[in-house]
Structure 1
Amino acid sequence: MGLLWRDWPEVLRTRLFAGCAIPAQPLALRADRTMDPVRQRALSRYYLAAGAGGIAVGVHTTQFAIRDVGLFEPVLRAAAEVADGRDALLIAGAVGRTEQAVKEARIARGLGYHAVLLSLAAFRGAGEEEMIAHCEAVAAEMPLFGFYLQPAVGGVRLSASFWKRFAAIENVAAIKIAPFNRYATLDVVRGVTEAGALDRIALYTGNDDHIVGDLLTPFVLGGRPAHIVGGLLGHWSVWTERAVALQARCRQGPVDAALLALDPQVTEMNAAVFDVANDFAGCIAGCHEILRRQGLLEGIWCLDPDETLSPGQADLLTAVSARYPDLTDDAFVAANLNAWLV
């Protein structure tokens, strides 16, 4: 018998649907590219101390290649041990075709995770029927956090029809909308609206180019407004204490010119972190570099030795950090770092 989102503790259901910040956790490596368990746990402590409503692990920011080197379960376990007893949502990435995704969902369930962020990248070229059948099979094991990944980094184009059918799956708890495309973002909202599922599916942004705008926009596509209530973001794996405050401010208002002005500022910071100038080649290394500068990571190593910062990216990170100091949390990290690195 699989886990249903309706069986979660009430505090977690409330947190998800009210909206919260969920950082996508990076992978802490030593110079020899083995996992650094102390720093891996320190990242989880950082996110929870910053006020994050949960942690997403085994996702793109964690590096999909963890599955090839036997780190999928150890990384998930490290976050679960830190989060134990803290009422934090634990979201595990699940990838691949159905057999693999079901296996990963079962591992996550056994470790106490609450949902899986389900990537459909392995279904490029597949039909809608095949993808929906896949989603239903994984949903029989764990609640689903749907995921519209941008096609530029391996995602599959998904229509409003697909999202209507996906939203009809009873064990779908939320959807991360991350196509980096306003038309595709509307397709998700349209699909959930037409499925009559706005009351039981929480919408979360993953659109790094429009984070504040997504959180502030009422999407009125069927007579009643739909709202994106939170974010599950690789961008929020850094400067997390400020990200939590930003998400809360967007939800609480008031919506004034100062708040609207944060949208391009956050997007400019994301452009540096995610290496937009080089088609996202340095996006994971960019997150690592911020965490390295703060002392949370020892280096910026990725599992792929060729995956690193792009030329000029470090200077861009320095520039945006200086330009928007109120969107960074260096002082918060410095004050707590020693307590996390235990």
Structure 2
Amino acid sequence: MALNWTNWPREVLETFRRGTVIPAHLLALDSHWQLDVRRQRALTRYYVDAGAGGMAVGVHSTQFAIRDRGLYEPVLKLAAEAAAEWANRPLVLIAGLAGQTVQARREAETAVGLGYHAGLLSLAAMKGASEDELIAHCRAVAEVVPLVGFYLQPAVGGILLSRNFWRRFAEIEQVIGIKVAPFNRYRTLDVIEGVVAARAEDRIALYTGNDDAIVIDLLCPYVLRRDDKHVTVRIVGGLLGHWSVWTRGAVTLFARIKRAVEAELIDDDLLEVAAKVTDCNAAFFDVEHDFRGCIAGCHEVLRRQGLLEGIWCLDPKEGLSSGQAEAIERVMRLYPELGDDSFVAENRERWLS
């Protein structure tokens, strides 16, 4: 079973290319480190009601270890079914794909069978492969499902990828998007320049995964020269672990950014917000300890809101770093306007029902 992006529902394709908020779906566990179906479903309902245009499931924030616990298909299925039952609009469903080629193709087949539109392809398992081998791997997976490329930062398992790699990757017709998440401005430019060199800017939608520079990525036009002409490219949306929490606030901020870009009016207040969002991310993602508590930090925000019972991760040793809880408390106190505590409080019981 294979899927081509030309067969996507029109509304889904338009939403993805126009740009939207796509949270990286977290994983709800109980105190026995088992899937908490009720709270997992509640998270999906939260993202839908918050106004997200889609969801990414089975990705880094969902924890790659779901594959080792036999949870990959159940978690993807639960999210797809909960979204279909709860949403009154089409959503972009993106499945995380990982592993060597055989595994990634198998996961792609699972995702297509469950109704997902694209696969976010992690290359972490291909560490040490040549560029030719990487491209062959991507092409093989693209035979099954449209791809969203993923430049995952090395600090959490990603590999360095050249500008030439991104040009060759963008030339694959089944590539529909790229999540730009190296947490590095130079490498972010490598992706954009690769897409333009491949003449693929009209087909490929760029999404920020740079949680340290979300607002700036969405505000900045990238103007490159090609064949004696200027080509302007923008990052149109976000596919972010940071947006797995305070999602209603993210949707509100994203709409504000879109209005500012369309009006060509970027004021100092919006740039001030950019710094605030980065400050929040430093706490949520545990930057002080090289991102060791990045997933647990997001869990902690949702635990405080009552959506999660605890911050348990599949690895029982994974949790908040020293001082991270205090850091999260600080940003929640400083920037309540970026959050959505009231929204969650008003709807939590309905989502958990």
Alpha-carbon contact 2:52-2:251 (below 8 Å) kept? yes
Q: Look up the match of 1:51.
A: 51
2:96 match: 93
Which residue of the partner structure matches residue 67 of structure 1? 67
Rounded to whole Å, the distance in 2 between the matches of 1:37 and 1:97 is 29
Counterpart contact for 1:20–1:229, Cα < 8 Å: yes
Question: Structure 2 matches for 1:316-331, cutoff 5 A?
Answer: 316-331=327-342
For 2:258 and 2:166, the matched residues in 1 are separated by: 25
2:267 aligned partner, one-letter code: D
- Are 2:97 and 2:119, in contact at CA under 8 Å, matched by a contact in 1? yes
Q: How far apart in 1 are the matches of 2:170 and 2:254? A: 24
Corresponding residue to 1:301 among 312, 320, 324: 312
* Structure 2 residue 259 is the aligned partner of structure 1 residue 252: yes
Within 2, Cα distance between the matches of 1:275 and 1:144? 29
Aligned residues: 342
The percentage of aligned residue pairs carrying the same residue is 62
Q: Is residue 205 of structure 1 aligned with residue 216 of structure 2?
A: no
Deviations 1:277-334 (A, max 9, x none): 0000110000000000101100000011110001111111011011011001000000
> Secondary structure, in 3 states, of the residue corresponding to 1:269?
helix
Task: State the alpha-carbon separation in 2 of the partners of residues 255 and 112 from structure 1.
Answer: 38
| Cross-structure match for 1:238 | 245
The 8 Å contact of residues 24 and 61 in structure 1, kept in 2 or not, is answered as yes
User: In the alignment, is residue 156 of structure 1 matched against residue 150 of structure 2?
Assistant: no
Instruction: Find the partner of 2:220 among 217, 222, 236.
Output: 217
Amino acid aligned to 1:46: Y
Question: How many angstroms does 1:262 deviate by?
Answer: 1.0
Q: Distance in 2 between matches of 1:249 and 1:163?
A: 30
Is 1:20–1:248's contact at 8 Å kept on the other side of the alignment?
no
Distance 1:313 1:122 in 2: 29
Q: Confirm or deny that 1:124 pairs with 2:127.
A: yes
Could you list the structure 1 runs, at least 4 aligned residues long, displaced by more than 6 angstroms after superposition. none
Matched, 1:134 2:137: yes
Q: Deviations over 1:217-262 (max 9, x none)?
A: 0000221210000000000000000101111211220311111111
**In structure 2, the residue corresponding to 1:187 is in which secondary structure?**
helix
CA distance in 2, matches of 1:252, 1:99: 43
Matched, 1:10 2:10: yes
Partner residue of 1:143 out of 134, 141, 146: 146
Paired AA for residue 279 in structure 2: E
Is the contact made by 2:33 and 2:312 (CA closer than 8 Å) also made in structure 1? yes
- Tell me what 1:27 maps to: 27
Deviation, 1:125, is 1.3
* 1:82 Cα offset (Å): 1.3
For 1:266 and 1:232, the matched residues in 2 are separated by 15
* Equivalent position of 1:277 in the other structure: 288
Deviation, structure 1 residue 151 = 1.1
Shift of 1:45: 0.3
Relative to the length of structure 1, the TM-score reads: 0.99
| 1:251 match: secondary structure | helix
- Of 164, 179, 182 in structure 2, the residue corresponding to residue 179 of structure 1 is 182
User: Contact 2:155 / 2:291 at 8 angstroms: preserved in 1?
Assistant: no
Whole-angstrom distance in 2 between the partners of 1:190 and 1:155: 20
- AA aligned opposite 2:191: V
> C-alpha distance in 2, partners of 1:69/1:33?
11
What letter is aligned with 1:311? S
Structure 2: distance between partners of 1:165 and 1:21: 27
* Structure 1 gap ranges (5+): none
Counterpart of 1:232, as a letter, is L
For the aligned residue pairs, the C-alpha RMSD in angstroms reads 0.8
Report if aligned partners of 1:211, 1:267 keep a CA contact under 8 Å in 2: yes
**Counterpart in the other structure of 2:106:** 103
1:166 alignment counterpart? 169
TM-score scaled by length of structure 2: 0.96
Deviation at residue 6 of structure 1 after TM alignment: 1.2
Q: State the SS of the aligned residue for 2:95.
A: strand
Determine helix, strand or coil for the equivalent of 2:270.
helix
Aligned 8 A contact 2:24 2:244 in 1: yes
